[in-house]
Amino acid sequence: MALSKPITSKLKERSRTFHEEWEMQYCFTESKALKPICLICSTTIAVAKKYNLERHFKQNHSSINKNYPEGSSLRAEFIKKKKKEIFAKNKKPFSDGEIIKEALSIFSNNCNDKNIKTKADGISLSRNTVTRRVEEMSNDISNQITQTVTKYLLELSQLETTSTGRDIFMKIKECVDRKGIAWEKINSVCTDGAPAMTGKINSCVALLKQFLGRELFSYHCIIHQEALCAKDMKFNDVIDPVVRCINYIRAKALHRRQFRVLFEEEINEFGELHLYCAVRWLSKGEMLKHFFSFAERGLAIFSRKAGNA
């Protein structure tokens, strides 16, 4: 006669199941690994027990109850923002919130608890709401960075048609003016070695100096040790055959189709071969690493063809 499952094990399983009310009480949600994750500090708790979550909340986030009292609309709004922040950090589609809302509705309708159902229905996780919240967080972060600009990315700007020194200068000027940064605080500029950036008359740096009416410390961006090593050491015996083989594959549509058929699995994993560009630093290493990540069976064929071409 088969023995039934011990009652104690059933109680353990029930006690280690994440309960939705813990989200409002202790600011926790359940991760993909079915473990509780703190919405405030992103700490993961190993065992989903009420005592563990309560202890973490009281030790680390006790001030939340003062600023956002439990059961209040402020607390619900705080939880919504924190959940949307997790969506943004993990780069999840904003429409996933609707799936979570549907799962919450199914749970609340079957748990026979009116309080849980009311709280679940009050959480807005629609795609438009998540999008709006993420935009608000993005604007808030941008404003904070503007106040204390040190070494962080301020903005990404797209050059429409040409990439002359004047085009780049105008984009920088628009960005600085839009963010309200004082031009007097700009004392130095760091660029790459492109003529559009470092020329004497119409480069971005020259136009910036003319606009400010004073001198600026202009620096070249940090020189990587790998780049210096690659320039000093002669890799022609290795680089030239590889470049010739890659150009042979990428130059003609027929060769490229043959290569895709032969290396379908590798392309899905590593992507297509990179073209070599002498201007970009460290591209030699990336190109060689990518080239030799493919199987040797087909590379020998294309190498021989490229050598005979």
Q: Which is more confidently placed, 251 or 34? A: 251
Q: What is the pLDDT of residue 297?
A: 55
Place of tokens 């020194």: 165
How far is 247 from 136, CA to CA, in rounded Å? 47
Per the prediction, the chain carries an average pLDDT of 74
**CA dist 64 → 29, 79, 80, 124, 257 (Å):** 16, 11, 14, 21, 59
Identify the band that residue 206 occupies on the pLDDT scale cut at 50, 70 and 90. Answer: very high
pLDDT tens per residue, range 210-242: 999 998 888 877 665 566 666 666 777 778 888
Strand partners, 37: 29, 44
Question: How would you class 35 by CB atoms within 10 Å of its CB: exposed for 0-12, middle for 13-18, buried for 19 or more?
Answer: middle
Q: Using an 8 Å Cβ cutoff, are 74 and 85 in contact?
A: no
Burial of 24 (0-12, 13-18, 19+ CB in 10 A): buried
Tell me the three state secondary structure of residue 52: helix
Measured distance between the N- and C-terminal CA atoms of the chain, rounded to whole angstroms: 78
Enclosing H/E stretch for 30? strand 28-30
Task: Report d(CA 153, CA 170) in Å as an integer.
Answer: 18
pLDDT tens digit sequence for 234-282: 777 778 888 888 888 888 888 888 888 877 777 776 777 777 776 555 5
- 120: pLDDT confidence band, cut at 50, 70 and 90? low
Rounded-to-integer distance, Cα 60 and Cα 4, Å? 42
**165: Cα within 13 Å, side-chain hemisphere:** 20
- What is the pLDDT at residue 1? 42
For the ranges 94-98, 124-128, 145-149, 199-203, the one whose mean pLDDT is highest? 199-203
Separation of alpha carbons 271 and 251, rounded Å: 17
Any residues with CB less than 8 A from the CB of 250 and at least 6 apart, and which?
256, 273, 275
Q: Is the pLDDT of residue 136 over 80?
A: no
User: Mean pLDDT throughout 12-22?
Assistant: 67
- pLDDT (0 to 100) of residue 217: 87
The answer to whether 28 and 61 are in contact (CB under 8 A) is: no
